[in-house]
Amino acid sequence: MKKRQDRKQQVSDDLKDNRQFLADEIGLEDSFDMVAKEFRIAGRKALLVGVDGFMKEEVYLYIVDVLSRLSRDDILPDPTASLFERFVGYVECEVLNDMYDAADQILSGPSVLFLDGESNCIAIDARTYPMRDVKEPDLERVMRGPRDGFTETLVENVTLIRRRIRDFSLRAVYETAGARSQTDIGVLYLEDVANPETVQRVRQSIQAIDIDGLPMGERTVAEFLTPWHSDWNPLPVIRYTERPDITAEYLLEGHVAVVVDGSPAVILLPVTIFHHLQHAEEFHESVINGTFVRWARYLAVFVAWLGVPLWVMFAEHRHLLPAVLDFIGPKEEVVIPLIGQFIIAEFGMEFIRMGLVHTPNALATSLGIIGAVLLGELAVEVGLFVSEAILYVTIAVLAYFALPSWELGIALRLFRIVYLVVLAAAGPVGFGLAVLATVVIMGTTRSWDIPYLWPVIPPDWSGIWQILYRRPGTDPGRRPSLLRPGDISRDPRS
């Protein structure tokens, strides 16, 4: 199939030919949601074509009513120019000469006005989209702070960002991807802050998307944005957010945001592992409270990553235990080996999570209690599990849900399961080598040429201080140097 931009067809001055073209190409006569309104403008036949669900009825009724009243003298000497400049009373209009461009506009939402005897047409962008209300994202809730979140509408999402950044240099560049879906994509950045090389690479990556459609929205776009990232590396090299305040903060730092129409999740890049550990809650608390929450989250990362494997290693190899930790490990006989218990429990917790996702909200709480408490208690009572195994798996799962990044949490869970398998097969030495291999993977992973473990590897003491301490709002600070921003200082006076 030829790409749409490779096909050209001049708008005909015969209204019947244009209508037949639209019938053949986009199913004007076959699709029930296609609207084709015929009327007269100054005694000449006119045709207004659009998609029913995208049309603002009151706007089009007004346009048809105004245009129907025109006389021949009103549209002379150039009917299209007269209509465009004087009588189509809507801001976003465009004169088109190509029928494929007109068809693209119709499928994207604007309506197109054809006038018999004219070899061009007018696209009128008075579209509206079916949308849900703006509300707080379920995965990024805060105790205090804004309650708005992105929706599935590109224009509305960009507006939520512009509401927070009213800077002259904020750019929202429009791209499309998908030969059939023609998905709208917005690339947002601060022109005098973001690295122009990064912006250019992002735009080129989107323009190079060669696929028929993007039904999975931002996830498909993300895979095209990171073709160099191994499919076998579970570490996320981009961050998703559904919060406008987080997106605005990243833009001010010098990052690039990619907004995909039809998805409430915005892509932020480039990022390090520590970007995945930041949460808006830290910045809506006092400095000391925000710093405490940040440190608690770092502890949760350690527990979710190494807590369970370390406990199993010490319980299975008690000679490695210092005397002060002699209480670790089950005292009773076990039917299933400890490592087997933890692997089964990991998959059991995943089954519960999957069940909750597909359960109606009214039943989700009950199912969670039954799955997490009752099943664990029954497993201990029948002797399949020891109570300590249930306890530590539960702590690891709670730590997993404490992470702001869902993708990083899944990666840590995969690493944890691999550690358990290696521990069973190769003992403490194999476990140590597996952890070392993970650190090497993290150290060699890059997000758009940015080291994944920065500022720890390579060391940057200023950056390390920023990830340990929640900077007060009165201190503008400096933008991360690794982003190579055009303006390194966040102090407007400098």
pLDDT tens profile 129-174: 777 888 889 888 888 889 999 999 999 999 999 999 999 999 999 9
Looking at residue 228, its pLDDT comes to 74
Beta bridge partners of 48: 37, 113
Helices then strands, each counted (H, E), the chain: 18, 12
In this prediction, residue 361 has a pLDDT band, given cuts at 50, 70 and 90, of low
How far CA 435 is from CA of 76, 208, 354, in Å, comes to: 78, 37, 28
Residue ranges of domains in the chain: 4-124, 154-271, 286-451
CA distance between the termini of the chain: 54
Looking at residue 1, its pLDDT comes to 42
Looking at residue 370, its pLDDT comes to 60
Interval 223-243 mean pLDDT? 89
pLDDT for residue 84 is more than 80: yes
Looking at residue 473, its pLDDT comes to 80
pLDDT for residue 203 is more than 60: yes
CA atoms within 13 A on the CB side of 375: 14
CA distance 167 to 179: 34
- For residue range 246-297, list pLDDT tens digits in order: 999 999 999 999 999 999 999 999 999 999 999 988 888 899 999 999 999 9
Looking at residue 265, its pLDDT comes to 95
pLDDT for residue 303 is more than 80: yes
Beta bridge partners of 111: 124
pLDDT for residue 109 is more than 50: yes
pLDDT for residue 227 is more than 70: yes
- The conformational region for residue 182 under phi > 0 = left, psi -120 to 50 = alpha, else beta, is left
- For residue range 367-392, list pLDDT tens digits in order: 665 666 677 777 777 777 888 888 88
Looking up tokens 């306890």 gives 391
Lowest mean pLDDT among 268-277, 355-364, 408-417, 482-491: 355-364
Asked whether the whole model's pTM tops 0.75, one would answer yes
* More confident of the two residues 351 and 19: 19
Question: What is the distance of C-alpha 300 from the center of its chain?
Answer: 24
pLDDT for residue 202 is more than 90: yes
Looking at residue 85, its pLDDT comes to 86
- Of the candidates 287, 244, 247, 307, the residue with the CA atom closest to the CA atom of residue 271: 247
Sequence letter at residue 327: F
- For residue range 409-456, list pLDDT tens digits in order: 999 999 999 999 999 999 999 999 999 999 999 999 999 889 999 999
Query: How would you class 361 by CB atoms within 10 Å of its CB: exposed for 0-12, middle for 13-18, buried for 19 or more?
Result: exposed
CA distance 217 to 262: 7
- Of the candidates 108, 244, 269, 93, the residue with the CA atom closest to the CA atom of residue 184: 108
